[in-house]
Amino acid sequence: MASVSNWFSQVSAVTTTAVRTIPQRRGSSLATIAGIAGVVAVFVAVLSIGEGFRKTLRAAGSPDNAMVLRAGSDSEMMSVMLGDSIEIIAQAPGVARGAVETQGPDAPFSSAELFVIVDQPKRTTGGAANVPLRGVSPGAFATRPELKMIAGRKFEFGKSEVIVGEGARKQFSGLELGTTQKWGVNEWTVVGIFSAGGALWESEIWTDARVLQPAFQRGNSFQTVIAKLESPAAFDTFNDALTTDPRLDVQVMRESDYFANQGRTLNGIIRGLGLVISVLMGIGAIFGALNTMYNAVASRTREIATLRALGFGAGAVVVSVLAEAVLLALVGGAIGAVGAWIFFDGFRTSTLNWDSFSQVTFAFDVTAPLMIQGAVLALALGLVGGLLPAIRAARLPVTAALREA
């Protein structure tokens, strides 16, 4: 017991000396801190892009909403459903019912939708961007209760009017309240602006599907049907009823599963590039840390040898060098993670979601787990960068080291 406490007091004595002398090695210590801060900042920032993007898609997918597409279509854009199947789907078992605007007090909460894109200029570049335009049925607002008007009013069914998501209004020009745009053969007036709790819908423009059909030459066809189910558990009943109905040729997905899948191209790009950048930077930072710690050991050669001569153990020396490396790394990691949070969290942008071929607006999301991952990365870099120099320090032959200048 006594030896253990002795060991600890040795460790704390040597470590304290090491840490106190850091200011003497200011230059290289600062370089290490900066290097590791950079790695962590970039790591956290790049991953926060993916995090924010996923969050936007996730917010769109409600687990008690079911999405019906044509069998074999993996996105809304590619699906086609004819008008006569819409009513069969709306009346299927498991669909929640209630009062729906223009449909009466006991209507199914379901919405047949069209999903097209229109060219609108992006504010940052002025270039045309694929802005999603969704035609919905009256049940749409019951299936997405998160949708709230923040300016103006809802469009009137049957009229050539649109409402614009807050994200779309900010990122693209020509979508302010009261403006008029020509898309297809119609002129459309923006009568309202809505928010949707950060969900994907905020990137979209909404209108009446029945008005959109002739304007885009869609006859009586739709692309998807969204239905609010009585409960998430009612999904199987609903799914079985539709997929066994010989009149239909459809597949049913939970809305949450569908949207989780929709970002895979962009997620793949960010994950792939993020990995390469992080690995390369991490390797670079380890070399930086190694150099700093070898320097630290070299400049403390005499001191370490003196300690060893006085009877301090090799273990204490190893721990002290490692502790110094870890301390520098954690300081760097904290600076990097907090810096990423200050500069990137909430940064709003829009990009092309290749899976829906349309623009998605979202905010970078520097989450606490991401910052912790960054700190863990810093810790790992510090340990790896400190280990070899620590072993070198412990192995210094005492007599030779004492003689060294």
Partner 1 sequence: MKYWPILWGNLKRRKARTFFTLLSIVVAFILFAYLAAVKVAFRAGVDVAGADRLFTTQKTAIILPLPKRYQEEIARVPGVAAVTHMSWFGGIYQNPNKGFQGVMQSPVDPEDYLAMYPELLLPAEQKAAWLADREAAIVGRKTADRYGWQVGDRIPVQASIYRKKDGSALWEFNLVGIYDGAEKGTDTTQFLFRYDYFDEARQYGRGIVGWYVVRIDDPSQAAEVGKRIDTLFENSSNETKTVTEKALAQSFADQIGDIGAIITWVLAAVFFTMLLVAGNTMAQSVRERTNELGVLKSLGFPDRGVLGLVLAESCLLAILGGGLGLVLGALATGAGDPTGGFLPIFYFPTNDVILGIVFVLLLGFVAGTLPAVSAMRLKIVDALRRG
Name the residue nearer to partner 1 (CB basis): 188 or 235.
188
Mark the segment that binds partner 1 (CB under 8 A) among 122-130, 161-169, 236-244, 300-308: 122-130
Name the residue nearer to partner 1 (CB basis): 84 or 119.
119
Mark the segment that binds partner 1 (CB under 8 A) among 37-45, 205-213, 235-243, 310-318: 37-45
Among 33, 49, 107, 321, binds partner 1 (CB under 8 A): 49
Site for partner 1, residues 322 to 351, rule: CB under 8 A:
349-351
Task: Give 353's strand partners.
Answer: 358
> What is the distance between the alpha carbons of residues 25 and 48, in angstroms, rounded to a whole number?
34
Please state whether beta strands 186-195 and 161-165 pair in parallel, antiparallel, or not at all (unpaired): parallel
**Contacting residues for 39 by C-beta, under 8 A, at least 6 apart:** 278, 281, 282, 284, 285, 332, 336, 377, 378, 381
Name the residue nearer to partner 1 (CB basis): 21 or 351.
351
Among 14, 42, 234, 334, binds partner 1 (CB under 8 A): 42
**Residue 247 near partner 1 by CB under 8 A:** no
**Residue 246 near partner 1 by CB under 8 A:** no
**Residue 129 near partner 1 by CB under 8 A:** yes
Name the residue nearer to partner 1 (CB basis): 94 or 282.
282
Among 19, 74, 149, 379, binds partner 1 (CB under 8 A): 74
Count the neighbouring beta carbons within 10 Å of the beta carbon of residue 106: 9
Among 149, 151, 260, 352, binds partner 1 (CB under 8 A): 352
**Residue 387 near partner 1 by CB under 8 A:** no
Q: How far is the CB of 27 from partner 1 (least distance, A)?
A: 8
Q: How far is the CB of 376 from partner 1 (least distance, A)?
A: 20
Name the residue nearer to partner 1 (CB basis): 77 or 151.
77
Name the residue nearer to partner 1 (CB basis): 11 or 290.
290
Name the residue nearer to partner 1 (CB basis): 11 or 321.
321
Number of residues located near partner 1, criterion CB under 8 A: 66
String of contacts with partner 1 for each residue 202-241, x by CB under 8 A: --------------xx------------------------
> What is the distance between the alpha carbons of residues 13 and 376, in angstroms, rounded to a whole number?
26
**Residue 29 near partner 1 by CB under 8 A:** no
**Residue 80 near partner 1 by CB under 8 A:** yes
Closest Cα partner for 111 from 249, 209, 178?
A: 209
Q: Are 389 and 296 in contact (CB under 8 A)?
A: yes
Site for partner 1, residues 250 to 309, rule: CB under 8 A:
261, 264-266, 268-273, 275-277, 280-281, 283-284, 287-288, 290-291, 294-295
Residue 75 Cα distances to 158, 263, 300, angstroms: 27, 11, 63
> What is the distance between the alpha carbons of residues 198 and 232, in angstroms, rounded to a whole number?
22
Contact set with partner 1 (CB under 8 A): 27-28, 31, 34-35, 38, 42, 45-46, 49, 71-75, 77-78, 80, 116-119, 122, 124-125, 127-130, 183-185, 216-217, 249, 261, 264-266, 268-273, 275-277, 280-281, 283-284, 287-288, 290-291, 294-295, 349-352, 354, 357, 359, 388
